[in-house]
Structure 1
Amino acid sequence: MTKETAIKLFQDQRVRVEWDNDQEKWFFSIIDVIGVLTGSDRPRKYWSDLKSKLKSEGSEVSEKIGQLKMESPDGKLRLTDVADTEQLLRLIQSIPSPKAEPFKLWLAKVGYERIEETEDPEKAFDRAMETYLKKGYSANWINQRLKSIEVRKELTDEWDIRGVKKGLEHAILTDEITMAWTGMTTREYKDFKDLKKENLRDNMTNLELVLNMLAEASTTEISKEKNPETFEENKKVAQKGGKVADAARKQLEKNTGKSVISPLNAKELGKKLDDKNNELE
């Protein structure tokens, strides 16, 4: 089954989804949807109680629910209950929420956007740019970020070819790259920027994004030339790719006299940009 993983936003709240090319369906994380609709801080418990209620009422909806591995807040892939659009609409009818109708419209919009993006992939980038602009990012930063997504995809595709497993093994290799060019693991880098669940790349400066892209693109190219066959060989390739960016970082820092690695996160970067614009005005 060929799948595409993504995060969709409903009123600025994240919903994990996966697109199945074979079935041509979106599958949505049920606990994410319940969290959005109910505002509950225990969506798993709410879903467990709802399943029991539906079963006692003789509903077959919960029995047809499947499971997929989706990325959890700690970055690991874990099995979670998922529903396609039809199943989700039936579940929503059992959840008293003022957001039910807006959510139904959102589901229809997500499906329509997927059809558009299949016919014209540029629309996906346009929507991503629109989302980042709403969050206050500069156009220059957004262009770098979108390019970094493309570079990352090329790297993960290469890892898939080499038999590297999604989830933990991808995370380990990413750590190797990050450590090689920053001197920190991904978790340490996030701590340095005072981040918790936030996406690290969304909190990088332009320079950090560029160097991270260089590290990942270098890893991809070295992998294509070296053809690593084992996970340990892939780790060595990841380290070599990261070292390319490390050399560039050190040369730049030598010439500028300041560190490239910044403790600024997205909120602080946005404030810095606002302050700069106010000064210009």
Structure 2
Amino acid sequence: MADVMVFSPSPQLTVTIEDDDQVHFHAGGQGVWQARMITSLDVDVVMVTALGGESGELLRPLIAREGIHLRAFITDAANGVYVHDRRGGSRDVIVESAGEPLGRHEQDELYGIALAEGLRARVCLLSGVTNPEIMPFDVYRRMAGDLKRNDCVVVADLAGDYLQAVVEGGLDVVKVSHEELEVDAGDVDALVERMRELHRRGAQNVIVSRAEQPGLVLLRERDGGVFEVDMPELEPVDPRGAGDSMTAGVAAVLAHGGDMATAVRTGAA
């Protein structure tokens, strides 16, 4: 039994060209980044995903070498790929493919695997997809609701229709950025109002990241109060994945029975 189940329907194959023309191959995408961070915190992870096409064949060993347990549904739909050139010091996109949609039968099969693994895990983390056609947002609503009704701890890091869907299903923790809420990072009053709205609709705890500014967190265990969360002051090399690391830290602490305040502090660190 894994401590955390990460639902990541369609990871991406990443190809990065670095200095001295070195070419690196990795598994990427939100779910992979989260699962990798959770594993680095000595928490056992199983990632439920669909793999297909040549990119899917390459992703299987790349994910496995991260120490992540993999439950993969094999599909005809190819996984996404992106090729980035970083030789100039910035990330220049050469090719980016979001991945192919899963058919209805494939969606149902993947759902069943995720539900079975989620019911055995201490925490279930629902991650997003780059292409909305891969997995409809209503699937996330059903999954959040089914897991929560069976006493699972459910965490989600989603935006847009997917965020609204899991909130409707009901869950323990929602993490979202100010950009995904379409609110200016400095407009604290507006952000707090959006957080309280998410709480009223079904999210017990809400975390909002604000880039380099302190995050905001609404904690159910503290009577729904909203607090600032200071982040370490660091020189960023690449901001991609910072919010995913925060979500991973929260999930890792909850999987070991920690309280939300401790989980938020670890996520921020």
TM-score of the aligned structures, taking structure 2 as reference length? 0.28
Point out the structure with max Rg over C-alpha.
1
TM-score (ref. length: structure 1): 0.27
**Which structure shows the bigger proportion of residues in helix conformation?**
1
By percentage of residues, which structure has more strand? 2
